[in-house]
Structure 1
């Protein structure tokens, strides 16, 4: 895997950037898709025969928000379904899909490692769908900038430092503990 100095439009064409809850699909060989990840996951999935591929970016594995809501799109269970459905609509075949997974870093010392949960979810989901993971890089403690060419499956990754405020300010706002569960009368709540 090569590193990426910066996200720029290269000689081959244009770059599409996605954020949390978004995905892009393309069969244009001149398109690269980029994102910046901390504890989030990006699944890069393609059909190597049809030449269609795409990338998503999700924040947490599962949640209660409606799948078509802005909040719902940030959950892996919805983001993966949306990406796969978009790939199939663009001409990909499910039995030929292959994936690369990126992200899932442990960004802060917390009791809950959201990055590891995200990566484990993505692997379980793809396995259940019969989609082979052919590469990627998950875990660690560094944020990543990813660039992916959906028609070829080529991916580049650059590990980011603590000096990159875009990632680290955003991660601090999402890396909060989940809201407390409702406590029934007589139950003990630990805090």
Structure 2
């Protein structure tokens, strides 16, 4: 029977993620992780592997949580607070934009930071980032298809392409918010992007 760990894994992973979020992969040493977590080098390696293993682990966990939250907030069904798919999409995207705009300090999204820092040279990171981007764009696309079914959006709209357009808008907001761009302008950017989605024509009156 193995010995019970003397630490809470979820808490340690959160501390590690925040350390990487603040100082990046190259700027974080194993000793930095030891100091942040209070664990010895041997304990870290035994539980999580080397620094790169731990980096990929916390990045993957973050991406899975980000996608799961987006899907939960965008999905419809009898429990949905907002019955309109377009309204749910707008509510979610505006909320995300406001987080980027008004957080202090402006550290942005961990997905964006890791992608910029490591995806060009680390295939595991690149694969995880691509999957997260595909899944987020897919969640937006699924909501747009729901809006088409509800008669809110034109049937000839390419929902998959539009899902990536909205993803690009919100990722861009993540980037420029770090320069302290006005939050009202960032929110209006989201609303303007959504307003460009072709709406379904109203039903023709009979008679």
**TM-score range relative to shorter protein:** under 0.3
Higher helix share: 2
- TM-score of the pair, normalised by structure 2: 0.24
Higher strand share: 1
Larger Rg: 2
- TM-score of the pair, normalised by structure 1: 0.25
